[in-house]
Structure 1
Amino acid sequence: MTPAGDEQRWRLFFALAVSEQEQQQLWRQLGPLRARFPAARWLAAETYHLTLLFMGDTPKDRVAALGHKLAAFATDPMVRPCVLRLASGGGRRGVAWLEPTAAGARCAAIAAERLAAVVGPRTGSAPVPLRAHVTIARRAPEKLLQALRADAPEPAVNWLADRVVLYRSHLDASGPRYEELLSAGLADRFTDRRDGAERSTAASETAC
């Protein structure tokens, strides 16, 4: 974990954004499970995302270069928006999540592989592509994981995954908070939200 006072290195990851409407729908559907397992640390709706690539502690001065790489990735003809449907659940080591269907997982896997190829190695090691899932709770008891494996929330949440975001993770006692730094609509536009500003250009214009 990056020390709280170390502002030279940021904990970064790339993810497919979940639309606000689907975030709220999923939060409502998880209500019965939150009532059954109040001891779990349930993540806030606005934190829901599907991680593609974990960068770990990264020099903050690399963010601009990552933005160029993200813009290039967004124009990759192998990567297209796809509908993701969270149809099953599970978890391990106290982390609970929901997973997309096999077709959605393949779509996310292709995106993760292509993104890793464009981004290249992080300092000290290669980027880590992850199994497609949306984390919903931490400190989850085994009975919660069993409940998710047996019966995922219905009706299954689905959304058009058409935007990839570079997030900065802030970890504190109240739980994780994710700051959106950069984003790219697949085959669409690139957006820079650093410094509280929002600057958008065609993805092809910023690719290098």
Structure 2
Amino acid sequence: MKSGVHDQTQPATVRVFIALAPPDHAKEELARELRPAYGTHPHMRWNRIEDWHITLAFLGELPVATVPLLRPPLAALAAARRPPSLALRGSGDFDDRVLWSGIGGDLDELRTLACDVRTAVKDCGVAFEERPFRPHLTLARARRGDHSSAGEIARGLAGFTGRRWAAERLHLVGSNFGRSSGPIHYRDIEAWPLGDGDPAGS
């Protein structure tokens, strides 16, 4: 991994990913289920509810100047795709530390969208590390040394099934990861409504 610390000419960068976001009512439904865990596990580093998202492609640190290249193909892709019908369902953890909610619904359509997003990024000449697509929504992270909290909370959420909802927008997101000592915050660089599946808009 290139640190770039020695290169004073390196352009400004932003950490970028492409995602879908559940609507407010779906997030509130899951938040109600999580409320007891907020009280019993306050030491968990909980993600802000407004930042909950389903990552389709994680691009990592990109030069700011390359971000505009992504806008036209992602806008066209969004317009040509119908909103997948999804639901927040169940829970689990990664490596006993990362607590997540699972995703149900039109998973084949979701996987196809993720594949098409990644192809569009690569066609722009933007290189990124290809990670396996595992649909989930990250909720919290346990502190180092805590190997039980994430799994305990996940077991309590295993039977959760939220109402279905349509993913309405494709989001190009930037984060402040590594730029402050506080929690990770995300902001939309741009977001495009998903369309009706007709590339010509007819």
TM range (shorter): 0.7 to 0.9
The match for 2:118 is: 116
TM-score calculated relative to the size of structure 1: 0.77
Which sections of structure 1, spanning at least 5 residues, go unmatched? 189-202
Please state which structure has a larger fraction of its residues in strand: 1
Q: Please state how far the C-alpha of 1:62 moved relative to its aligned partner.
A: 1.2
Question: How big is each residue's C-alpha offset from its partner over 1:46-99, in whole Å with a ceiling of 9 and x where there is no partner?
Answer: 1111111000001111111111121121133xx321221111100113111001
Which stretches of structure 1, 4 residues or more, deviate above 6 A after TM superposition?
none
Structure 1 residue identity aligned to 2:182: S
Q: Kindly indicate whether the alpha-carbon contact (under 8 Å) linking 1:12 and 1:57 is maintained by their aligned counterparts in 2.
A: yes
Do the aligned partners of residues 42 and 158 (structure 1) sit closer, same or farther apart at CA in structure 2, a change above 3 Å counting?
A: farther
Q: Kindly indicate whether the alpha-carbon contact (under 8 Å) linking 1:71 and 1:204 is maintained by their aligned counterparts in 2.
A: no
Q: Kindly indicate whether the alpha-carbon contact (under 8 Å) linking 2:142 and 2:150 is maintained by their aligned counterparts in 1.
A: no
Q: Please state how far the C-alpha of 1:127 moved relative to its aligned partner.
A: 4.5
Do the aligned partners of residues 88 and 130 (structure 1) sit closer, same or farther apart at CA in structure 2, a change above 3 Å counting?
A: same
Among candidates 97, 101, 104, match of residue 98 of structure 1: 101
For the pair 1:27 / 2:31, whether they are aligned, the reply is: yes
CA distance in 2, matches of 1:157, 1:36: 26
The match for 2:182 is: 174
CA distance in 2, matches of 1:113, 1:47: 23
Q: Please state how far the C-alpha of 1:7 moved relative to its aligned partner.
A: 6.7
Aligned partner of residue 148 in structure 1, secondary structure: helix
Question: How big is each residue's C-alpha offset from its partner over 1:20-44, in whole Å with a ceiling of 9 and x where there is no partner?
Answer: 3322332222101222222211111
CA distance in 2, matches of 1:63, 1:98: 29
Do the aligned partners of residues 149 and 107 (structure 1) sit closer, same or farther apart at CA in structure 2, a change above 3 Å counting?
A: farther
CA distance in 2, matches of 1:92, 1:127: 18
The match for 2:167 is: 161
Among candidates 88, 91, 97, match of residue 90 of structure 2: 88
Do the aligned partners of residues 118 and 91 (structure 1) sit closer, same or farther apart at CA in structure 2, a change above 3 Å counting?
A: same
For the pair 1:134 / 2:142, whether they are aligned, the reply is: no
Structure 2 residue identity aligned to 1:114: D
Aligned partner of residue 28 in structure 1, secondary structure: helix
* 50-59 vs 155-164, which moves further: 155-164
Q: Please state how far the C-alpha of 1:159 moved relative to its aligned partner.
A: 2.2
Number of equivalenced pairs:
188
CA RMSD of aligned residues (A): 3.0
Structure 2 residue identity aligned to 1:106: D
The match for 1:196 is: none
CA distance in 2, matches of 1:112, 1:7: 28
The match for 2:158 is: 152
CA distance in 2, matches of 1:108, 1:129: 13
The match for 2:109 is: 107
Q: Please state how far the C-alpha of 1:168 moved relative to its aligned partner.
A: 0.2
CA distance in 2, matches of 1:147, 1:157: 20
TM-score calculated relative to the size of structure 2: 0.79
Structure showing greater radius of gyration is 2
- Higher relative CO (CA 8 A, sep ≥ 6), structure 1 or 2? 2
